[in-house]
Amino acid sequence: MKTRHVLMAVTVTAVWGINFSVIKIGLASVDPFILAGIRFTLCALPAVFLIRKPDVPWRHLIAYGLVFGVGLWGVVTLGIEAGLSSGIASLVLQVSAFVTILLGAAVFHERISRYQWAGFAIALLGLGCTAFITDGSVTAAGIALVLFGAVSWSVANIILKKSAPKDVLGFLVWSSLFSPVPLFALDLAVNGTTGYTELAAHIDLAAVLSILFQAYPNTVIAYAIWNWLLKEYPVSTVAPLSLLVPVFGLLGSVAIFDERLSATKLLCLALIVAGLVVGLYGKRVATAVAAPRRAAVEADVRVDA
């Protein structure tokens, strides 16, 4: 990759990682579902008037909007509200990579390699280590909600794969139309009218900037850049950089909320990222390492012959 494109990719992962802390800033004055609802309203409007509807069935757009907007980001926002630190939330959400592999095997009959099983086991060990974090940055409810978000993200990936849209940005924008109403309705069902009646009085500049950051740099712009990079370069070149997301997520929480990076948190980070590396790239690395050895053996055989 060209240097400027590497910098673009790293910037995207930084935006995605820091976004977890930005969500927490918005939660100081806005209810979780309302915060997510406004975010996806801005993702959809006015962009739907500028971007043509992608050539995919409406049911795929509706399903993706519900799963990605409500099941993923609505629930993850609620998980952060439930006491999970933004840094840990960004880390736990990466479990989605393995859930996607499992769903891919169930839906598309894709084979799961031993490297993927090994990576899954390592990542689960890292996830289990979060139970030993005792500084108040982890709650059982928060972990459960973000894990639900991770499963939703995986389901959204399956929907996206089945839809196979040529214009992924258009797909994201149009599907966002179906996220706000359920999110607003959920807040009404859970909290009554309080969140709406107090919104004008409580919302502040920090919350407004939080919503704008989530909608545009984090969602519309970052996804557009990432998908462009995926078109310009092999997936195997671009995708590994996404492993930086939880790193930036933790660093963002440290910088913004002064979250303490204990040895246990660093161990969780190391295990989950190591699990991702083994599960997603272990086979490729093993093949690359074994290739010279195999070539040398074949050369010896030819000499002996």
Give the E-state strand segments of the chain in sequence order. Answer: none
**What is the average per-residue pLDDT within 267-291?**
83
261 pLDDT above the threshold of 60: yes
Structure tokens at 5: 């494109």
Closest CA to 246 of 261, 224, 230: 261
Please say whether the beta carbons of 100 and 217 come within 8 A: no
* Global confidence as pTM: 0.86
Closest CA to 66 of 53, 75, 54: 75
pLDDT tens string 181-191: 999 999 999 88
Cis check for the bond before 46: say yes or no (omega within 30 of 0): yes
pLDDT tens string 98-134: 888 888 888 888 888 888 889 889 988 988 998 889 8
305 pLDDT above the threshold of 60: no
Structure tokens at 154: 């995986």
Closest CA to 73 of 95, 53, 97, 90: 90
Domain housing 295: 3-304
Per-residue confidence (pLDDT) for residue 109, from 0 to 100:
83
Work out the mean pLDDT of the chain and round it to a whole number: 89
Give the containing element (helix H, strand E) for 161. helix 140-163
Number of domain units in the chain: 1
